[in-house]
Homo-oligomer: A and B are copies of this chain.
Amino acid sequence: MSYYKKLTATDLIKISGFVPRNRILWKNEINEEYSHDELTTEHYYPEMVVKINSTQEVSNILKYANEHKIAVTVRGAGTGLVGAAVALKGGIVLDMTMMNHFLELDEENLTLTVEPGVLLMDLASYVEEKGFFYPPDPGEKSATIGGNISTNAGGMRAVKYGVTRDYVRALEVGLADGSIVEFGGKVVKNSSGYDLKDLIIGSEGTLGIVTKIVLKLLPLPKKNISLLIPYQNLEKAIRTVPLIIKAKAIPTAIEFMEREVICDAEKYLGRKFPDNQADAYLLLKFDGNSVEEIENYYDNVAKICLQQGAIDILIADTDERSEGIWKARGAFLEAIKSSTTCMDEVDIVVPRSEVNTFVEYVHELRAKLNIRMKSFGHAGDGNLHVYILKDDLDDEQWHELLTLAMDKMYAKAKELNGKVSGEHGIGLVKKVYLEQSTPKTAIDLMKKIKAVFDPNNILNPGKIC
């Protein structure tokens, strides 16, 4: 018998008292999409999906679920890559996408207050229209901001601007017992007791359900320029990155990419990339308030790249050209996905100085295992995405090779003082690697903290630790 209560018709009636029946999906009314996220290898159906419309609904459902030991899994747009939003133990999925309102833009405090279901792309255009800037920039623009907070999403601008965590001033959170509490505040500094806000960020719905968010904004930089820099091979490209950092020029983003991924993206988008002749590329962005301000930086960086064997420096100084390149970059994941039958990924992060060592290791591993693997990623912040592709392997072969490849890559990352996840989180499928790479003392602390927040273990059970 499961620890968790299976939902009955009585539960449906009770929960319909908190949320109108037309916002509840019950058993066979539940679409297939709710059984997985973007990681399509893991399927678990919830017994009930509730389309949440208010904080009060979250509170009422949590209180009920906690009293009856019903598992509750929070879900945004379902764009996660580690199975964090999947209802491993059945129970209720809280779909937060209807809670998608902009609540307040406070220009005097440079903050934006939103509900968790606001999509990243809507958030970006909302603030940019008003001359503000929300720097975190994950590739998946149709993710919700709540989901981004759940995984502490990073994105491409982390080199200069940091990650989601760095832009969260306050969170309203529904705790397991249904109480609603605010952590943090609309203040720039805070040394008032333990930092519970940062504990919630990156906790993937296992410690509480985020119901309101106060984000920190910056003024929008007035200009940006991108450089696309072709190299004969990836090694040369990546070896340049620590030298750029060492030269004290901090680009907004430093991405690396290989020709085959660019070709996949061209095919997927049906449009040409500015260049696809070279084996490997660095893509850099610089931003600032005037062309002159930016020029100083990129002149120096261009020089370093040429010294390190770059074939050319292609400058995208109009919005149109720059957007074209970054759109292609944004489509890499989907493009790779569409090129194969099934895939899984690692989202390893290593010290910036070790990126080259890790990428070389991936190349060796690919040759040795004879499996298709594609990689791209954030060379400037050490966060690498490697995709392992099933193609026409049978299930058994695929699982064997996938496990082998993953084991090897996580072991290598650990050896290089890296971490299991840079931005996608742990969820369901990276738990074993988190456990392997983290001191037992730290894992034990995490488990006990989980028990403090959620003594009945109803919140997204079976995730992280």
Contact = CB atoms under 8 A, between A and B. Distances in A.
Contacts of A321: none
A226 interface: no
Contacts of A443: 193
A416 B343 CA distance: 51
A188 interface: yes
A91 interface: no
How many copies of this protein are present in the complex?
2
A239 to B, nearest CB: 11
A288 B297 CA distance: 12
Interface string A121-156: 000000000011000000000000000000111100
Contacts of A347: 191
Given A194-B450, A195-B198, 17 more contacts: A106-B351, A108-B353, A109-B242, A110-B245, A162-B166, A175-B441, A186-B351, A187-B382, A189-B349, A189-B422, A191-B423, A192-B420, A193-B464, A198-B199, A199-B199, A290-B296, A448-B452
Interface in A167-211: 175, 179, 181-183, 185-196, 198-199, 201-203, 207
A232 interface: no
Nearest to A175: B441
Contacts of A381: 187-189
B383 A426 contact: no
Nearest to A207: B194
A260 interface: no
Contact of A446 (B163, B194, B245): B194
B438 A193 contact: yes
A76 B442 CA distance: 25
A191 B425 contact: yes
A190 B442 contact: no
B419 A350 contact: no
A369 interface: no
Contacts of A59: none
A434 B192 contact: yes
Interface in A402-452: 417-426, 434, 437-439, 441-443, 445-446, 448-450, 452
Contacts of A259: none
Closest 4 CB pairs of A and B: A219-B248, A188-B381, A198-B198, A108-B242
A185 B418 contact: yes
B108 A188 contact: no
B108 A192 contact: no
A441 B181 contact: yes
A417 B186 contact: yes
Interface in A347-387: 347, 349-353, 378, 380-383
Nearest to A181: B441
A157 to B, nearest CB: 11
A289 interface: yes
Contacts of A153: 191
Contact of A464 (B194, B434, B438): B194
Contact of A188 (B219, B248, B293, B352): B352
A158 B108 contact: no
A273 interface: no
A348 to B, nearest CB: 10
Contacts of A448: 452
Nearest to A179: B441
A159 interface: yes
A219 B423 contact: no
B218 A250 contact: yes
5 contacts: A153-B191, A190-B349, A193-B465, A196-B446, A198-B198
A162 B153 CA distance: 20
Contacts of A212: none
Given A108-B246, A151-B191, A191-B426, A452 B445 contact: yes
A292 interface: yes
B159 A419 contact: no
Given A194-B446, A196-B445, A292-B292, A106 B186 contact: no
A165 interface: yes
A424 B187 contact: no
A439 B132 CA distance: 32
Contacts of A464: 193-194
Interface in A215-269: 218-220, 242, 245-246, 248-250
